[in-house]
Chain A
Amino acid sequence: MTREQYVKPTTDEPPGRRDLRPGADSCYKCSTCDVHCPVAEVDGDFPGPKFQGPEQWRLRRKEGSLIDPSISACSNCMRCDAACPAEVPLSQQHNTARAAYVDESVPRWSRTYWRNKLLANYGRLARFGALTPRLSNLLMSNRALRWGLARLLGITEQRSFPRFTPQTFRSWWQERGGAAIEHPEKRIAYFHGDYANYNTPAVGKALVRVFEHYGYEVAVPEQRCSGTPMFANGMLADAARAAQVNVESFSELVEAGYDVICSCTSCSMALRQEYPELFGLDGIETLADHTYEAMEYLRIHEDLQADLSEARHDRASLAYHAPCHARNQGLAGQPIELFAAVEGIDVTDVGESCSGISGTYGWKTERYDTSMAIGEEMFEEMEAAPGETGLTECPTCAMQMEHGTGYPVRHPLELVADALLDDSA
């Protein structure tokens, strides 16, 4: 995003969406967002969401003023959106300010720029990594390489890279011949994103099996990353390119009567909220209006709750963490409610704290300590909860949970599939 775009609302866009002025004006400085900000709580130098949003926007009105660098310490957890009683579009202001900051103050030749570019475009790398998964996994755990990445780019050595699977979700999907069920009305288009495709295809497979169990025709159209890591790194042009591919690909299906289903709550957040806030693409609003998280959709259209209450599962105790982005979509209590009824499954809610990793944030050497300090409360709650398995919808929250406790972490859809379907065990 250029300075021009950030300062001047694009008047040819629908009013109230991209124009940040009304949002900046409706902030009455109550600072509730600052109380809910997990970064401000542990980082005494971080001025908080109120400053990053309405105040940076206003300071910027002055000719020649630059975005304050502290914007890059915002993790894009979007807690401030949920906290604001005055409907200030805080995360939208943060996303645009961050993009303006990268544009004007982060040199293209700098280490930070290239590191962030690399992290933001993880999906592009993963495409190559997944071609030779064993070699990639070997390389990514190579200590010399990790040392180099840390020194050269500032990617922390503390974490282990997610492993590539021998077979991607899309390749499995092709191999099985695509949809196993046809239906003239019950049709969904699966937005798997990069992570379920390259790293956790079991989640995608569980989704397909559960929706087919309910008689849905599943489509898996061409797609790119949702853009979440690009927003968070101020790479809005990259995000716009990815969004364009996704909007075109999925809009066609939406017009043909499909609804769009995500298994990752940050992907659904991007499609539902960030896309229409940030990009003026044809069909983007319609796409947002037809996008749902998988279990949310089944609760609306099927009696998932009742079916689960008759289901049985091998004894399992899990500690559930609600990702911040799930929380903002009203999904935080969902797995707790759903699994309360399943015989054998015992799920404990580990509370309202943020996991702290926020996608690529916790991978940056200079953010690692902040990320772990935020996560501390969640780690403690997980350890206090019965069982030694984690449960969450978000792939990077899962990384953080595993990193902080050593627990394996499952996705709720896998549990739903286990409970409802005999063959998926």
Chain B
Amino acid sequence: MMSVEDEVIVIGAGIAGRMAALAAARRGASVRVISHKESTLAHASGLIDILGYHEDDPVSSPYATIKKLPPGHPYSHVGSDGVRTAMDCFDRVTTSYCGGHTDSNALVPTIGGRLKPTARYPESVAPGLASRPVDTLLIGFETMPDFHAPATALTLERIGVPFDVRGETIRFPVELRPDAGRTRLARALATDEPVDGGGCRSALAARIAPVLGDAGRVGLPAVLGDGTTDGIRESLADHLGVAVFEIPTGPPSLLGHRLKAELTDALQAAAVRIETGNPVVGHNATDNRIDAVLVQRSGDAVPYAADRFVLATGGLVGRGLRADRTTVTEPIFNCHISHPSDRYDWSEPEAFGDHHFARFGVRIDEFFRPLEDSGAPTFRNLHAAGAVLGGADPAAEKSASGISIATGYHAGRVAAEGAT
């Protein structure tokens, strides 16, 4: 049937899937990415964490701390040097990220007034790092109720940041409904929409100027442009005479959206084909080897053939894993997911307890191949990467994007090299 045939097929278009595709394509493989829906990158902060916390303590040097992680953690298959190689690739294919100059984590203020230890951050976030002792003004908008700048400033002050910080709430210069979407603000700034005879960038600066005081930098929620922040920050900074930075927001996150766009550009440059819209529903295999994955198109399950496959469908949120009241499954290849048989053992009573469910996922060997309960690879030519992997608690460790980049890159590399 279908004439589609590639060397490597990657299932899933999140960070892991995209890095796997890039790593494989850079080794000369013809690569296709199949994604059922748009990725969950709009949930992503846009910060790239390798390892932010270890045993409840903030991590200053992620590469050194990786070595302390237990066997079975996704990083244990990559190793500290392996993470470094993958991050080098990430740094090469993206254009707007900072932090690669050092092995240490940076501390980025969040909209909740916490400091997040992170390895890479967009350049629009850079002037706001907490390590810079510059007095800071945070600006919130009346139409954006989930960021209250004075409260955030107060929280930052209480945790003892080494600078003065104030918060002010102002009106966005363009007339908006009470909780207008972030993309609407971003677009107004991106197109410098006309207001009262001028552009909305200078109108915004004019509203910030009276409350600027002695602040040496101004932080705004990350809405400074929909595609890139080109020109917007600079224009505000010119008007105000101080540096302007973005504060990462929760979902929907324009920083996550921009990260997706950057990786899409990189995939296009690497001639990777991306197909979004139909689910992979199964596979054909002979003798422990997958011949094709099946893509649902109307009533047909259309085979897409390849030599090797990378499973990067995400965890429970991205629907790469499914859970009902009795079992947790990986729906495409039925990879083994180890979990307690009693679902009351899946979680702990405390909200932030050491939940078992957080570590649910596929276990892999040194070639990133999912393993059966017996320890044998499920398929010779299937590799897995990203949030579908078990053995880590990315939310507690702040390691999600690092794990996706590292395992994605190496799973893609192994797939292209045909190391199996």
Contacts and interface: CB of A to CB of B under 8 A. Distances in A.
A35 B252 contact: yes
A31 B276 contact: no
B3 A291 contact: no
Contacts of B38: 32, 36, 82-83, 85
B42 interface: yes
Interface string B270-309: 0001111110000000000000000101111010000000
Q: Which of B179, B186, B252, B319 has the most CB of A within 10 A?
A: B252
A299 B183 CA distance: 37
A272 B298 contact: yes
B182 interface: yes
B398 to A, nearest CB: 19
B255 to A, nearest CB: 11
A30 B37 contact: no
B159 interface: no
Nearest to A254: B299
B251 A85 contact: no
A36 B174 CA distance: 21
Interface in B150-184: 174-177, 179-184
Contacts of B37: 82-85
A248 interface: no
Interface string A235-275: 00000000000000000000000000000000000001000
B290 to A, nearest CB: 20
29 contacts: A30-B40, A30-B251, A34-B183, A35-B42, A35-B181, A35-B183, A36-B38, A40-B183, A40-B184, A41-B186, A44-B176, A44-B177, A44-B180, A46-B181, A47-B177, A82-B37, A82-B277, A288-B299, A289-B299, A300-B1, A300-B300, A300-B302, A302-B3, A305-B3, A306-B3, A330-B277, A332-B277, A333-B273, A333-B274
Contacts of A329: 277-278
B314 to A, nearest CB: 8
A337 B273 CA distance: 8
The 5 closest A-B pairs by CB, nearest first: A330-B277, A289-B299, A330-B278, A35-B252, A44-B176
Given A30-B42, A40-B184, A84-B37, 20 more contacts: A30-B40, A32-B252, A35-B182, A37-B183, A41-B184, A41-B186, A44-B176, A44-B180, A46-B181, A47-B179, A82-B276, A85-B43, A87-B319, A288-B299, A292-B297, A300-B302, A303-B3, A305-B4, A328-B277, A332-B275
Contacts of A35: 42, 181-183, 252, 254, 257
B269 to A, nearest CB: 13
B226 interface: yes
Contacts of A303: 3
Given A32-B251, A35-B42, A288 B298 contact: yes
A43 interface: yes
A48 B251 contact: no
A187 to B, nearest CB: 16
Interface residues of A, number: 44
B417 to A, nearest CB: 25
B1 to A, nearest CB: 6
A42 interface: yes
A45 interface: yes
A296 interface: yes
A292 B297 CA distance: 8
A327 B295 CA distance: 15
A31 B318 contact: no
Nearest to B40: A85
Contacts, number: 117
A273 to B, nearest CB: 10
A45 B42 CA distance: 22
Given A32-B43, A35-B181, A333-B273, A301 B1 contact: yes
Q: Which of B181, B183, B273, B302 has the most CB of A within 10 A?
A: B181
A291 B4 CA distance: 20
A85 B36 CA distance: 9
A299 B3 contact: yes
A300 B37 CA distance: 21
A302 B1 CA distance: 7
Interface string A301-330: 111111000000000000000000001111
B40 to A, nearest CB: 5
Contact of A330 (B179, B257, B276, B317): B276
A37 B317 CA distance: 21
B234 to A, nearest CB: 21
B419 interface: no
Interface string A118-148: 0000000000000000000000000000000
Interface string B208-245: 00000000000000000010000000000000000000
Given A31-B251, A32-B251, A35-B182, A85 B318 contact: yes
A299 B2 CA distance: 6
Contacts of A331: 277
A291 B187 CA distance: 38
A289 B318 CA distance: 26
Contacts of B276: 82, 327, 330, 332
A290 interface: yes
Interface string A16-55: 0000000000000011101111001111111110000000
Interface of B: 1-4, 37-38, 40, 42-43, 174-177, 179-184, 186-188, 226, 251-252, 254, 257, 273-278, 295, 297-300, 302, 317-319
Contacts of B186: 41
A44 B3 contact: no
B40 A32 contact: yes
A82 B42 CA distance: 13
Q: Which of A30, A35, A37, A42 has the most CB of B within 10 A?
A: A35
Contacts of B184: 40-44
Given A84-B37, A299-B3, A300-B1, A37 B277 contact: no
Q: Which of A302, A303, A330 has the most CB of B within 10 A?
A: A330
Nearest to A51: B179
A49 B342 CA distance: 38
A35 B258 CA distance: 11
Contacts of B176: 44
A301 B276 CA distance: 20
Contacts of B181: 31, 34-35, 37, 40-41, 46, 48
B170 to A, nearest CB: 16
A72 B62 CA distance: 51
Nearest to A337: B273
Contact of A34 (B252, B274, B297): B252
A272 B300 CA distance: 12
A85 B273 CA distance: 21
Contacts of A292: 297-298
Contacts of B302: 300
Contacts of A42: 184, 187
Contact of B174 (A44, A84, A87, A296): A44
Nearest to B318: A85
A22 B311 CA distance: 28
A167 B274 CA distance: 40
Interface in A337-354: 337
Contacts of B183: 34-35, 37, 40-41
Contacts of A36: 38, 42
Nearest to B187: A41
